[in-house]
Chains A and B, each alone.
Chain A
Protein backbone atom coordinates (compact mmCIF):
# COMPACT_ATOMS: atom_id res chain seq x y z
CA UNK A 1 0.00 0.00 0.00
CA UNK A 2 1.65 3.24 -1.19
CA UNK A 3 1.64 6.62 0.40
CA UNK A 4 -1.12 9.04 -0.46
CA UNK A 5 -0.75 12.57 0.90
CA UNK A 6 -3.78 13.80 -1.04
CA UNK A 7 -5.93 12.50 1.80
CA UNK A 8 -4.60 15.21 4.12
CA UNK A 9 -6.81 18.23 3.18
CA UNK A 10 -9.97 16.33 4.05
CA UNK A 11 -8.85 15.91 7.67
CA UNK A 12 -6.81 19.06 8.03
CA UNK A 13 -9.42 20.79 10.19
CA UNK A 14 -8.99 18.23 12.98
CA UNK A 15 -5.23 18.46 12.80
CA UNK A 16 -5.34 22.27 12.87
CA UNK A 17 -7.61 22.20 15.89
CA UNK A 18 -5.11 19.87 17.58
CA UNK A 19 -2.39 22.33 16.65
CA UNK A 20 -4.31 25.13 18.32
CA UNK A 21 -4.62 23.05 21.50
CA UNK A 22 -0.91 22.27 21.46
CA UNK A 23 -0.08 25.95 21.09
CA UNK A 24 -2.54 26.84 23.86
CA UNK A 25 -1.14 24.24 26.25
CA UNK A 26 2.44 25.24 25.48
CA UNK A 27 1.88 28.96 25.90
CA UNK A 28 -0.05 28.68 29.17
CA UNK A 29 2.32 26.07 30.61
CA UNK A 30 5.31 28.15 29.52
CA UNK A 31 3.94 31.18 31.37
CA UNK A 32 3.30 29.07 34.47
CA UNK A 33 6.79 27.58 34.26
CA UNK A 34 8.44 30.96 33.83
CA UNK A 35 6.79 32.78 36.73
CA UNK A 36 6.63 29.58 38.77
CA UNK A 37 10.36 29.17 38.17
CA UNK A 38 11.04 32.63 39.60
CA UNK A 39 8.82 32.00 42.63
CA UNK A 40 10.38 28.57 43.24
CA UNK A 41 13.88 30.01 42.95
CA UNK A 42 13.12 32.68 45.54
CA UNK A 43 11.59 30.08 47.88
CA UNK A 44 14.55 27.74 47.45
CA UNK A 45 17.04 30.50 48.19
CA UNK A 46 15.37 32.79 50.69
CA UNK A 47 12.31 31.23 52.33
CA UNK A 48 12.57 30.22 55.99
CA UNK A 49 13.53 26.61 56.68
CA UNK A 50 9.99 25.57 57.52
CA UNK A 51 8.81 26.45 53.99
CA UNK A 52 12.01 25.58 52.18
CA UNK A 53 12.26 21.95 53.28
CA UNK A 54 8.79 20.75 52.24
CA UNK A 55 9.24 22.72 49.06
CA UNK A 56 12.45 20.87 48.26
CA UNK A 57 10.58 17.60 48.58
CA UNK A 58 7.96 18.77 46.10
CA UNK A 59 10.67 20.00 43.73
CA UNK A 60 12.39 16.64 43.99
CA UNK A 61 9.17 14.82 43.12
CA UNK A 62 8.74 16.96 40.02
CA UNK A 63 12.34 16.44 38.90
CA UNK A 64 12.80 12.83 39.90
CA UNK A 65 9.63 11.19 38.60
CA UNK A 66 8.25 10.80 35.07
CA UNK A 67 6.11 13.66 33.78
CA UNK A 68 3.61 11.07 32.58
CA UNK A 69 3.14 9.86 36.14
CA UNK A 70 2.77 13.41 37.39
CA UNK A 71 0.02 14.05 34.84
CA UNK A 72 -1.81 10.87 35.89
CA UNK A 73 -1.51 11.88 39.52
CA UNK A 74 -2.86 15.38 38.93
CA UNK A 75 -5.69 14.31 36.63
CA UNK A 76 -6.80 10.96 38.06
CA UNK A 77 -5.30 11.04 41.55
CA UNK A 78 -6.51 14.40 42.76
CA UNK A 79 -10.14 13.47 42.01
CA UNK A 80 -10.01 11.13 44.97
CA UNK A 81 -9.35 14.03 47.30
CA UNK A 82 -12.08 16.09 45.68
CA UNK A 83 -10.04 18.10 43.19
CA UNK A 84 -11.65 17.40 39.85
CA UNK A 85 -9.74 19.35 37.22
CA UNK A 86 -10.63 19.54 33.54
CA UNK A 87 -8.03 17.67 31.46
CA UNK A 88 -6.67 20.85 29.90
CA UNK A 89 -6.18 22.48 33.29
CA UNK A 90 -4.59 19.37 34.79
CA UNK A 91 -2.26 19.08 31.81
CA UNK A 92 -1.21 22.70 31.88
CA UNK A 93 -0.58 22.62 35.63
CA UNK A 94 1.44 19.42 35.38
CA UNK A 95 3.58 20.63 32.50
CA UNK A 96 3.90 24.13 33.96
CA UNK A 97 5.05 22.97 37.39
CA UNK A 98 7.34 20.32 35.97
CA UNK A 99 9.21 22.86 33.90
CA UNK A 100 8.97 25.51 36.61
CA UNK A 101 11.20 23.28 38.71
CA UNK A 102 13.75 23.06 35.89
CA UNK A 103 13.58 26.81 35.28
CA UNK A 104 13.96 27.40 39.00
CA UNK A 105 17.29 25.56 39.00
CA UNK A 106 18.56 27.85 36.25
CA UNK A 107 17.27 31.00 37.91
CA UNK A 108 18.71 30.08 41.31
CA UNK A 109 22.20 29.78 39.87
CA UNK A 110 21.73 33.03 37.98
CA UNK A 111 20.54 34.88 41.09
CA UNK A 112 23.61 33.72 42.98
CA UNK A 113 25.91 34.87 40.22
CA UNK A 114 24.54 38.42 39.98
CA UNK A 115 27.34 40.71 41.13
CA UNK A 116 27.19 41.41 44.86
CA UNK A 117 27.61 45.13 44.16
CA UNK A 118 24.13 45.18 42.65
CA UNK A 119 22.45 44.22 45.90
CA UNK A 120 24.71 46.64 47.77
CA UNK A 121 23.91 49.52 45.45
CA UNK A 122 20.19 48.82 45.74
CA UNK A 123 20.34 48.62 49.54
CA UNK A 124 22.40 51.80 49.63
CA UNK A 125 19.64 53.90 48.06
CA UNK A 126 17.29 52.53 50.73
CA UNK A 127 15.59 49.55 49.10
CA UNK A 128 14.73 46.63 51.36
CA UNK A 129 16.16 43.22 50.55
CA UNK A 130 12.87 42.11 49.00
CA UNK A 131 12.61 45.26 46.89
CA UNK A 132 16.21 44.90 45.78
CA UNK A 133 15.62 41.29 44.74
CA UNK A 134 12.48 42.17 42.85
CA UNK A 135 13.69 45.26 41.02
CA UNK A 136 17.42 44.69 40.66
CA UNK A 137 18.67 41.14 41.19
CA UNK A 138 15.93 38.94 39.73
CA UNK A 139 15.47 40.92 36.50
CA UNK A 140 19.19 40.57 35.84
CA UNK A 141 19.21 36.88 36.73
CA UNK A 142 16.29 36.17 34.42
CA UNK A 143 17.91 38.05 31.53
CA UNK A 144 21.03 35.97 31.96
CA UNK A 145 19.15 32.65 31.61
CA UNK A 146 16.79 33.48 28.75
CA UNK A 147 18.68 31.16 26.32
CA UNK A 148 18.57 28.01 28.51
CA UNK A 149 14.98 28.79 29.55
CA UNK A 150 14.21 28.92 25.82
CA UNK A 151 15.61 25.40 25.49
CA UNK A 152 13.37 24.26 28.32
CA UNK A 153 10.38 25.78 26.57
CA UNK A 154 11.13 23.79 23.43
CA UNK A 155 11.32 20.64 25.55
CA UNK A 156 7.99 21.70 27.02
CA UNK A 157 6.45 21.92 23.56
CA UNK A 158 7.57 18.38 22.79
CA UNK A 159 6.41 17.02 26.12
CA UNK A 160 3.01 18.62 25.62
CA UNK A 161 2.25 15.52 23.55
CA UNK A 162 2.09 13.59 26.83
CA UNK A 163 -1.06 15.49 27.73
CA UNK A 164 -2.82 13.36 25.11
CA UNK A 165 -2.88 10.48 27.61
CA UNK A 166 -5.33 12.35 29.82
CA UNK A 167 -7.54 13.01 26.84
CA UNK A 168 -6.67 16.52 25.64
CA UNK A 169 -7.05 16.51 21.86
CA UNK A 170 -3.80 18.19 21.12
CA UNK A 171 -1.78 17.65 17.98
CA UNK A 172 -0.57 14.11 18.64
CA UNK A 173 -3.92 12.80 19.81
CA UNK A 174 -5.68 14.51 16.90
CA UNK A 175 -3.33 12.80 14.48
CA UNK A 176 -4.05 9.46 16.17
CA UNK A 177 -7.78 10.01 15.89
CA UNK A 178 -7.55 10.79 12.19
CA UNK A 179 -5.36 7.72 11.73
CA UNK A 180 -8.00 5.66 13.51
CA UNK A 181 -10.45 6.64 10.79
CA UNK A 182 -8.17 6.58 7.75
CA UNK A 183 -5.51 3.95 8.58
CA UNK A 184 -2.88 6.33 7.24
CA UNK A 185 -0.35 6.56 10.09
CA UNK A 186 2.66 7.65 8.04
CA UNK A 187 0.97 10.58 6.35
CA UNK A 188 -0.60 12.00 9.49
CA UNK A 189 2.30 11.44 11.86
CA UNK A 190 4.56 13.17 9.34
CA UNK A 191 2.04 15.99 9.12
CA UNK A 192 1.94 16.31 12.91
CA UNK A 193 5.74 16.29 13.01
CA UNK A 194 5.80 19.09 10.43
CA UNK A 195 3.45 21.15 12.57
CA UNK A 196 5.60 20.59 15.67
CA UNK A 197 8.56 21.71 13.65
CA UNK A 198 6.82 24.90 12.55
CA UNK A 199 5.73 25.73 16.11
CA UNK A 200 9.29 25.08 17.19
CA UNK A 201 10.61 27.54 14.62
CA UNK A 202 8.15 30.16 15.81
CA UNK A 203 9.32 29.69 19.38
CA UNK A 204 12.95 30.06 18.36
CA UNK A 205 12.03 33.22 16.51
CA UNK A 206 10.31 34.66 19.59
CA UNK A 207 13.30 33.72 21.72
CA UNK A 208 15.70 35.46 19.34
CA UNK A 209 13.52 38.57 19.41
CA UNK A 210 13.55 38.61 23.20
CA UNK A 211 17.30 38.09 23.31
CA UNK A 212 17.87 40.92 20.88
CA UNK A 213 15.62 43.20 22.89
CA UNK A 214 17.47 42.62 26.13
CA UNK A 215 20.97 42.57 24.64
CA UNK A 216 21.60 46.21 25.52
CA UNK A 217 20.27 45.90 29.02
CA UNK A 218 22.70 43.27 30.24
Chain B
Protein backbone atom coordinates (compact mmCIF):
# COMPACT_ATOMS: atom_id res chain seq x y z
CA UNK B 1 0.00 0.00 0.00
CA UNK B 2 1.01 3.54 -0.58
CA UNK B 3 -0.43 4.66 2.70
CA UNK B 4 2.35 6.89 3.93
CA UNK B 5 4.42 6.89 0.81
CA UNK B 6 4.01 9.39 -1.95
CA UNK B 7 0.28 9.72 -1.98
CA UNK B 8 0.69 12.34 -4.70
CA UNK B 9 3.67 11.82 -6.94
CA UNK B 10 4.51 14.24 -9.71
CA UNK B 11 7.36 12.94 -11.85
CA UNK B 12 9.32 15.19 -14.19
CA UNK B 13 6.41 17.41 -15.08
CA UNK B 14 7.07 19.48 -18.18
CA UNK B 15 4.78 21.80 -20.01
CA UNK B 16 5.40 24.12 -22.91
CA UNK B 17 3.36 26.28 -25.20
CA UNK B 18 5.35 26.25 -28.42
CA UNK B 19 8.80 27.46 -27.44
CA UNK B 20 7.71 28.78 -24.09
CA UNK B 21 8.52 26.38 -21.28
CA UNK B 22 6.11 26.93 -18.41
CA UNK B 23 7.12 23.95 -16.30
CA UNK B 24 10.66 22.65 -16.52
CA UNK B 25 11.01 19.17 -15.10
CA UNK B 26 9.23 19.49 -11.79
CA UNK B 27 8.97 16.57 -9.38
CA UNK B 28 6.95 16.69 -6.20
CA UNK B 29 5.90 14.08 -3.68
CA UNK B 30 3.18 14.62 -1.12
CA UNK B 31 2.28 12.16 1.59
CA UNK B 32 -1.25 11.39 2.69
CA UNK B 33 -2.51 14.10 5.02
CA UNK B 34 0.25 16.52 4.13
CA UNK B 35 -0.39 20.11 3.20
CA UNK B 36 1.87 21.72 0.67
CA UNK B 37 1.82 25.39 -0.29
CA UNK B 38 3.17 26.62 -3.60
CA UNK B 39 4.25 30.24 -3.67
CA UNK B 40 5.94 32.33 -6.28
CA UNK B 41 5.51 35.36 -8.54
CA UNK B 42 2.81 35.39 -11.20
CA UNK B 43 3.92 33.55 -14.30
CA UNK B 44 6.07 31.20 -12.26
CA UNK B 45 3.96 28.20 -13.34
CA UNK B 46 2.45 27.44 -9.94
CA UNK B 47 -1.16 27.51 -11.14
CA UNK B 48 -0.23 25.54 -14.24
CA UNK B 49 1.32 22.85 -12.06
CA UNK B 50 -1.77 22.71 -9.87
CA UNK B 51 -4.05 22.51 -12.90
CA UNK B 52 -1.92 19.74 -14.35
CA UNK B 53 -2.65 17.55 -11.35
CA UNK B 54 -6.27 17.01 -12.41
CA UNK B 55 -5.38 17.42 -16.09
CA UNK B 56 -7.19 20.71 -16.66
CA UNK B 57 -3.92 21.83 -18.23
CA UNK B 58 -2.39 18.60 -19.55
CA UNK B 59 1.37 18.17 -19.21
CA UNK B 60 3.58 17.98 -22.28
CA UNK B 61 5.70 15.36 -20.56
CA UNK B 62 5.83 13.68 -17.17
CA UNK B 63 3.53 11.69 -14.95
CA UNK B 64 1.03 12.49 -12.22
CA UNK B 65 0.20 9.74 -9.74
CA UNK B 66 -2.46 9.76 -7.06
CA UNK B 67 -2.67 6.94 -4.52
CA UNK B 68 -0.94 4.47 -6.79
CA UNK B 69 -2.91 5.31 -9.96
CA UNK B 70 -1.56 7.40 -12.79
CA UNK B 71 -3.85 10.35 -13.43
CA UNK B 72 -2.59 11.25 -16.89
CA UNK B 73 -2.35 7.70 -18.16
CA UNK B 74 -1.88 7.27 -21.90
CA UNK B 75 -5.14 5.77 -23.13
CA UNK B 76 -7.26 5.94 -26.28
CA UNK B 77 -9.50 9.00 -26.21
CA UNK B 78 -12.76 7.39 -25.05
CA UNK B 79 -11.14 5.31 -22.34
CA UNK B 80 -9.12 8.28 -21.21
CA UNK B 81 -12.24 10.42 -20.82
CA UNK B 82 -13.78 7.76 -18.61
CA UNK B 83 -10.58 7.39 -16.62
CA UNK B 84 -10.01 11.09 -16.10
CA UNK B 85 -13.61 11.68 -15.05
CA UNK B 86 -13.16 9.01 -12.39
CA UNK B 87 -9.84 10.49 -11.27
CA UNK B 88 -11.29 13.98 -11.06
CA UNK B 89 -14.00 12.76 -8.70
CA UNK B 90 -11.17 12.00 -6.29
CA UNK B 91 -9.51 15.40 -6.69
CA UNK B 92 -11.39 18.40 -5.38
CA UNK B 93 -10.51 21.78 -6.79
CA UNK B 94 -11.27 25.29 -5.61
CA UNK B 95 -10.80 28.23 -7.97
CA UNK B 96 -9.86 31.83 -7.47
CA UNK B 97 -13.14 32.99 -9.00
CA UNK B 98 -15.27 30.32 -7.26
CA UNK B 99 -16.97 29.20 -10.49
CA UNK B 100 -20.17 28.35 -8.70
CA UNK B 101 -23.02 27.42 -11.01
CA UNK B 102 -25.12 30.60 -10.98
CA UNK B 103 -28.33 28.88 -12.06
CA UNK B 104 -28.34 26.54 -9.06
CA UNK B 105 -28.88 27.16 -5.36
CA UNK B 106 -26.06 26.41 -2.93
CA UNK B 107 -27.77 23.09 -2.27
CA UNK B 108 -27.87 22.10 -5.92
CA UNK B 109 -24.33 23.28 -6.53
CA UNK B 110 -23.22 20.76 -3.94
CA UNK B 111 -25.74 17.99 -4.64
CA UNK B 112 -25.57 17.88 -8.44
CA UNK B 113 -22.38 15.90 -9.00
CA UNK B 114 -23.01 13.26 -6.30
CA UNK B 115 -26.51 12.79 -7.67
CA UNK B 116 -25.32 12.43 -11.25
CA UNK B 117 -22.12 10.50 -10.72
CA UNK B 118 -22.59 8.47 -7.57
CA UNK B 119 -26.19 7.48 -8.14
CA UNK B 120 -27.47 9.11 -4.97
CA UNK B 121 -31.21 9.63 -4.69
CA UNK B 122 -32.47 13.18 -4.40
CA UNK B 123 -32.96 12.74 -0.64
CA UNK B 124 -29.49 11.31 -0.12
CA UNK B 125 -27.88 14.04 -2.22
CA UNK B 126 -29.81 16.75 -0.36
CA UNK B 127 -28.72 15.29 2.95
CA UNK B 128 -25.12 15.21 1.77
CA UNK B 129 -25.39 18.84 0.63
CA UNK B 130 -26.75 19.81 4.03
CA UNK B 131 -23.86 18.06 5.80
CA UNK B 132 -21.22 19.63 3.59
CA UNK B 133 -22.72 23.11 3.73
CA UNK B 134 -23.01 22.79 7.50
CA UNK B 135 -19.34 21.94 7.65
CA UNK B 136 -18.40 25.20 5.90
CA UNK B 137 -20.93 27.18 7.95
CA UNK B 138 -23.32 27.82 5.08
CA UNK B 139 -26.34 25.79 6.16
CA UNK B 140 -28.52 28.88 6.71
CA UNK B 141 -27.95 29.93 3.13
CA UNK B 142 -28.59 26.54 1.58
CA UNK B 143 -31.41 27.75 -0.68
CA UNK B 144 -29.69 30.94 -1.79
CA UNK B 145 -28.39 31.47 -5.30
CA UNK B 146 -24.75 32.46 -5.77
CA UNK B 147 -25.82 35.98 -6.82
CA UNK B 148 -27.20 36.41 -3.29
CA UNK B 149 -23.94 35.44 -1.56
CA UNK B 150 -20.77 37.35 -0.70
CA UNK B 151 -17.43 36.28 -2.14
CA UNK B 152 -16.38 34.50 1.02
CA UNK B 153 -19.70 32.68 1.18
CA UNK B 154 -19.43 31.68 -2.47
CA UNK B 155 -15.98 30.26 -1.88
CA UNK B 156 -17.19 28.28 1.11
CA UNK B 157 -19.99 26.80 -1.00
CA UNK B 158 -17.40 25.98 -3.67
CA UNK B 159 -15.34 24.13 -1.06
CA UNK B 160 -18.45 22.22 0.05
CA UNK B 161 -19.14 21.33 -3.59
CA UNK B 162 -15.66 19.84 -3.92
CA UNK B 163 -15.89 18.02 -0.57
CA UNK B 164 -19.21 16.42 -1.47
CA UNK B 165 -17.40 14.04 -3.83
CA UNK B 166 -15.28 12.87 -0.86
CA UNK B 167 -12.02 13.63 -2.63
CA UNK B 168 -8.70 12.16 -1.59
CA UNK B 169 -6.91 15.36 -2.47
CA UNK B 170 -7.91 19.02 -2.49
CA UNK B 171 -6.35 21.62 -4.75
CA UNK B 172 -6.72 25.31 -3.95
CA UNK B 173 -5.85 27.73 -6.74
CA UNK B 174 -5.48 31.12 -5.04
CA UNK B 175 -8.73 30.52 -3.23
CA UNK B 176 -8.68 33.83 -1.38
CA UNK B 177 -7.03 36.10 -3.97
CA UNK B 178 -10.29 37.47 -5.35
CA UNK B 179 -11.79 38.19 -1.94
CA UNK B 180 -12.08 41.47 -0.08
CA UNK B 181 -9.58 41.40 2.78
CA UNK B 182 -12.26 41.12 5.47
CA UNK B 183 -13.66 37.99 3.79
CA UNK B 184 -10.39 36.10 3.56
CA UNK B 185 -10.47 34.80 7.10
CA UNK B 186 -13.76 32.90 6.85
CA UNK B 187 -12.34 30.89 3.94
CA UNK B 188 -9.02 30.35 5.72
CA UNK B 189 -10.91 29.03 8.73
CA UNK B 190 -12.58 26.40 6.57
CA UNK B 191 -9.23 25.39 5.07
CA UNK B 192 -7.73 25.13 8.53
CA UNK B 193 -10.57 22.87 9.58
CA UNK B 194 -9.82 20.60 6.61
CA UNK B 195 -6.18 20.57 7.62
CA UNK B 196 -7.15 19.40 11.09
CA UNK B 197 -9.12 16.57 9.50
CA UNK B 198 -5.94 15.45 7.74
CA UNK B 199 -7.13 16.25 4.25
CA UNK B 200 -4.26 16.13 1.76
CA UNK B 201 -4.02 19.57 0.22
CA UNK B 202 -1.96 21.44 -2.32
CA UNK B 203 -2.45 25.15 -2.06
CA UNK B 204 -1.32 27.85 -4.46
CA UNK B 205 -1.38 31.04 -2.46
CA UNK B 206 -0.09 34.57 -2.00
CA UNK B 207 -0.77 34.51 1.69
CA UNK B 208 2.48 33.77 3.43
CA UNK B 209 1.02 33.96 6.94
CA UNK B 210 -1.60 31.40 6.14
CA UNK B 211 0.91 29.14 4.39
CA UNK B 212 3.20 29.38 7.41
CA UNK B 213 0.44 28.51 9.86
CA UNK B 214 -1.09 25.44 8.20
CA UNK B 215 1.40 23.94 5.77
CA UNK B 216 3.87 21.12 6.31
CA UNK B 217 5.96 22.18 3.39
CA UNK B 218 6.35 25.21 1.16
CA UNK B 219 7.58 25.26 -2.43
CA UNK B 220 8.90 28.44 -3.94
CA UNK B 221 8.55 28.39 -7.73
CA UNK B 222 9.95 30.81 -10.27
CA UNK B 223 10.13 30.60 -14.06
CA UNK B 224 8.89 27.05 -14.21
CA UNK B 225 11.24 25.50 -11.67
CA UNK B 226 11.10 24.83 -7.95
CA UNK B 227 13.74 27.18 -6.63
CA UNK B 228 13.56 26.05 -3.06
CA UNK B 229 11.40 23.93 -0.81
CA UNK B 230 11.22 23.14 2.85
CA UNK B 231 9.19 23.40 6.04
CA UNK B 232 7.65 26.86 6.39
CA UNK B 233 9.74 27.83 9.42
CA UNK B 234 12.90 27.22 7.41
CA UNK B 235 11.79 28.58 4.05
CA UNK B 236 10.23 31.75 5.44
CA UNK B 237 12.85 32.47 8.13
CA UNK B 238 16.06 31.21 6.56
CA UNK B 239 15.76 30.85 2.80
CA UNK B 240 19.02 29.72 1.23
CA UNK B 241 18.52 31.04 -2.30
CA UNK B 242 18.87 34.70 -3.16
CA UNK B 243 15.81 34.57 -5.44
CA UNK B 244 13.66 33.30 -2.58
CA UNK B 245 14.91 36.01 -0.26
CA UNK B 246 14.18 38.67 -2.84
CA UNK B 247 10.63 37.40 -3.40
CA UNK B 248 9.90 37.02 0.29
CA UNK B 249 11.40 40.42 1.03
CA UNK B 250 9.01 42.07 -1.41
CA UNK B 251 6.04 40.02 -0.38
CA UNK B 252 6.35 40.01 3.38
CA UNK B 253 7.24 43.68 3.23
CA UNK B 254 4.17 44.42 1.15
CA UNK B 255 1.93 42.45 3.46
CA UNK B 256 2.87 44.36 6.58
Interface residues of A (CB under 8 A from B): 115, 117-118, 120-129, 131, 135-136, 139-140, 143, 214, 216-218
Is B117 in the interface zone, CB < 8 Å from A? Answer: yes
**Count of A-B contacts with CB under 8 A?**
70
CA distance A125 to B89 in the complex (A): 5
Shortest CB-to-CB span from B212 to chain A, Å, is: 28
0/1 interface trace, chain B 95-118, chain A, CB 8 Å (1 if under): 101011111100000001100110
B117–A127 contact, CB under 8 A?
Answer: yes
What is the distance, in angstroms, from B113's C-beta to the closest C-beta of chain A? 4
Closest approach, in angstroms, between the C-beta of A46 and any C-beta of chain B?
A: 14
> Are B93 and A124 in touch, CB under 8 angstroms?
yes
When the two chains form their complex, are residues A120 and B116 in contact, meaning their CB atoms are under 8 A apart?
Answer: no
Which residue of A129, A135, A143, A218 is within 8 Å of B116 (Cβ)?
A: A135
B56, A140: Cβ atoms closer than 8 Å: no
| Contact indicator B113/A126 (Cβ below 8 Å) | yes
Q: Evaluate contact between B85 and A127: CB separation under 8 angstroms.
A: yes
Q: Which of B88, B99, B148 lies in contact with A126, CB distance below 8 A?
A: B88
Question: Which listed residue, A117, A127, A216, touches B99 by the CB 8 Å rule?
Answer: A117
Q: Is B2 an interface residue (CB 8 A)?
A: no
Q: Say whether B117 contacts A217, CB under 8 Å.
A: no
Q: B62-104: contact bitstring with A at CB < 8 Å (1 yes, 0 no)?
A: 0000000000000000000100011011011101010111111
For B103, the chain A residues whose CB sits under 8 A away are 139-140, 143, 214, 217-218
Name the A residues within 8 Å of B46 (CB-CB): none
The chain B residue sitting closest to A122, CB to CB, is B101
B113 partner residues in chain A, CB cutoff 8 A: 125-127
Q: B116 near A136 (CB under 8 angstroms)?
A: no
What B residues does A216 contact at CB under 8 A? 145, 147-148
B102 touches A121 (CB 8 A): no
**30 pairs from A and B in contact (CB 8 Å cutoff):** A115-B99, A117-B99, A118-B101, A120-B99, A121-B100, A121-B101, A123-B56, A123-B85, A123-B88, A124-B91, A125-B112, A125-B113, A125-B117, A125-B161, A125-B162, A125-B165, A126-B85, A126-B117, A127-B85, A127-B116, A128-B81, A135-B116, A139-B103, A140-B101, A140-B103, A143-B103, A216-B147, A217-B104, A217-B147, A218-B102
Given known A-B contacts A123-B56, A124-B93, A118 and B85 have beta carbons under 8 A apart? no
**A136 to B100 alpha-carbon distance, docked (Å):** 10
Which chain A residue has the least Cβ–Cβ distance from B96? A117
> Is the Cβ of A217 less than 8 Å from the Cβ of B88?
no
Q: A118-B99, A218-B147 are in contact. Are A124 and B88 (CB under 8 A)?
A: yes
Closest to B165 in A: A125
Q: How far is the CB of A86 from chain B (nearest CB, A)?
A: 38
- Smallest CB-CB separation from A135: which chain B residue? B112
Q: How far is the CA of A129 from the CA of B249 in the complex (A)?
A: 44
A131 contact set on B, CB distance < 8 A? 116
In the complex, the 5 A-B pairs of residues with the closest C-beta atoms, listed nearest first? A126-B89, A121-B99, A117-B99, A125-B113, A217-B103
